[in-house]
Amino acid sequence: MYCRFCVSGRADCAISARLRDVPARLREFSPAGGRICRLWPWRGLSLCASAAKTVAIGHRPRGQPRPGAGPVLSVGEVLDHRICFLASTAGAAQTALADLTAQYGQTDSARARYIVALGGDGFMLQTLHQSQSLAIPVYGMNCGTIGFLMNAYSVEGLPGRLQEAEEELLNPLAMLAERADGSITRGLAINEVSLLRAGPQAAKLRISIDGRVRMEELVCDGALVCTPAGSTAYNYSAHGPIFPIGSDVLALTAIAAFRPRRWRGALLPKVAKVRFDVLEADKRPVRADADSLSVPDVLSVEIATDLSIAHRLLFDVGHGLEERLLREQFA
């Protein structure tokens, strides 16, 4: 029995095996400008496999010989998977990248329907920052050491997992930091914005919320403001609270507070604007970190939720962020 999907006519065509799930009434992109036309089962359709495991699609009028390769699309695009795989430099992530692209092909991020990030939480944050202008959902698979934002790694059944996944929307924090030299640095943080002492002496911070001073002086190693997604990261290690994704609050947490000694922090509305002023900055230097962006010698830092940006994260059914938050508190 010969392959009816491939111009080669081979019975053992690997591309044919992957296309058996394509519905009988195929909708395909025509060569002329990407118009969608309906075709009766494979009638007038030419599909051929290339060495790179791609499929060339072209419209062939009845009675004419099969043409050469037309516009080249990946197997994932034919099946509407269109996955862009990104991987960290870790060996396990690179191996996973090779296995997944061999199975499902690779699609450029500009045409992709999904982005799959392979690595740990650090690489996931990097991927979210880099793809924020694409409005494409990101699905992570854990190939690193920490995978709170990641799903379990598996090559098989990925398209089905993507289609059934639950989506969470995350708004990042916008940071505006003023340095001692007068320069201004802006950054975005999905987890937290933190201020940390950069010298042997404790930091002294003044805290204002929505333009009103709430604490004249906090003597500490530092302080942070985190999102719900970041509440299980640095915030939790600093004994801050864990709270659900949909709670619309931020956590302000002190790091090793000396005065007031028992002050741990506060819960703030999601729309609150937080300002830290560094006191005695010349002898008590402080740096500010927004995820992977670090700003030394800051004089003041303003933090607010950026509602204009919404990162789309995908999680396997029953293993979303809400479930992970609960598990973390009972671990």
CATH code for the domain in which residue 165 is found: 3.40.50.10330
- In the block, which residue shows the tokens 């002190």? 254
Instruction: Quick: pLDDT tens for 115-124.
Output: 999 999 889 9
Average pLDDT of the residues in 282-311:
96
Question: Do 256 and 280 sit in the same domain of this protein?
Answer: yes
* Distances from the Cα of 32 to the Cα of 57, 74, 99, angstroms: 11, 18, 33
Q: Are strands 173-179 and 298-305 parallel, antiparallel or unpaired?
A: antiparallel
Question: Do 192 and 284 sit in the same domain of this protein?
Answer: yes
Q: How many CB atoms lie within 10 A of CB 288?
A: 30
Range ranked top by mean pLDDT from 137-151, 201-215, 312-326? 201-215
- Catalytic positions: 121
Structural domain contains residue 1: no
Question: Do 287 and 182 sit in the same domain of this protein?
Answer: yes
Predicted confidence at residue 331, as pLDDT, reads 67
Q: DSSP strand E in 9-137: where?
A: 26-29, 36-39, 45-49, 54-59, 72-74, 83-87, 114-119
> Can you name the residues that pair with 141 across neighbouring β-strands?
118, 151
Of 62, 78, 94, the residue at which a domain comes to its end is 78
Q: Which of 194, 156, 153, 188 is nearest to 173 (CA)?
A: 188
**Looking at the predicted structure, is the pLDDT value of residue 35 above 60?**
no
Contact in structure between 123 and 147 (CB atoms under 8 Å): no
Structural domain contains residue 66: yes
> Can you name the residues that pair with 274 across neighbouring β-strands?
209, 303
Predicted confidence at residue 104, as pLDDT, reads 93
What percent of the chain clears pLDDT 70, i.e. is strictly above it? 75
Average pLDDT of the residues in 150-175:
93
Burial class (CB in 10 A: 0-12, 13-18, 19+), 208: middle
Predicted confidence at residue 41, as pLDDT, reads 37
For the chain, what is the domain count?
3
Average pLDDT of the residues in 304-315:
94
pLDDT band for position 203 (cuts 50, 70, 90): very high
Average pLDDT of the residues in 46-57:
36
Two structure tokens written together for 227: 């999102």
Measured CA to CA, the distance from residue 12 to residue 109 in angstroms comes to 31
Question: Do 237 and 277 sit in the same domain of this protein?
Answer: yes
**Looking at the predicted structure, is the pLDDT value of residue 79 above 60?**
no
**Looking at the predicted structure, is the pLDDT value of residue 192 above 80?**
yes
76 versus 173: the higher-pLDDT residue is 173
Question: Do 73 and 186 sit in the same domain of this protein?
Answer: no
Predicted confidence at residue 80, as pLDDT, reads 62
Two structure tokens written together for 222: 């530092």
CATH code of the domain covering residue 200: 2.60.200.30
Helix (H, G, I), strand (E, B) or coil at 135: coil
pLDDT band for position 318 (cuts 50, 70, 90): confident
Question: Do 255 and 319 sit in the same domain of this protein?
Answer: no
Two structure tokens written together for 272: 């609150």
Of 38, 57, 78, the residue at which a domain comes to its end is 78
245 versus 53: the higher-pLDDT residue is 245
Predicted confidence at residue 238, as pLDDT, reads 93
pLDDT band for position 5 (cuts 50, 70, 90): very low
Measured CA to CA, the distance from residue 245 to residue 180 in angstroms comes to 36
Question: Do 65 and 122 sit in the same domain of this protein?
Answer: no
Question: Do 188 and 232 sit in the same domain of this protein?
Answer: yes
Mean pLDDT value across the chain: 80
Average pLDDT of the residues in 246-260:
92
**Looking at the predicted structure, is the pLDDT value of residue 2 above 60?**
no
Cβ neighbours of residue 291 closer than 8 Å, sequence gap 6 or more: 125, 129, 187, 188, 189, 190, 191, 192
Measured CA to CA, the distance from residue 287 to residue 193 in angstroms comes to 11
Question: Do 133 and 68 sit in the same domain of this protein?
Answer: no
Residue range of the domain that includes 258: 173-305
Question: Do 154 and 190 sit in the same domain of this protein?
Answer: no
Predicted confidence at residue 66, as pLDDT, reads 47
Predicted confidence at residue 191, as pLDDT, reads 93
pLDDT band for position 261 (cuts 50, 70, 90): confident
Contact in structure between 99 and 92 (CB atoms under 8 Å): no
Question: Do 199 and 246 sit in the same domain of this protein?
Answer: yes
What percent of the chain clears pLDDT 90, i.e. is strictly above it? 60
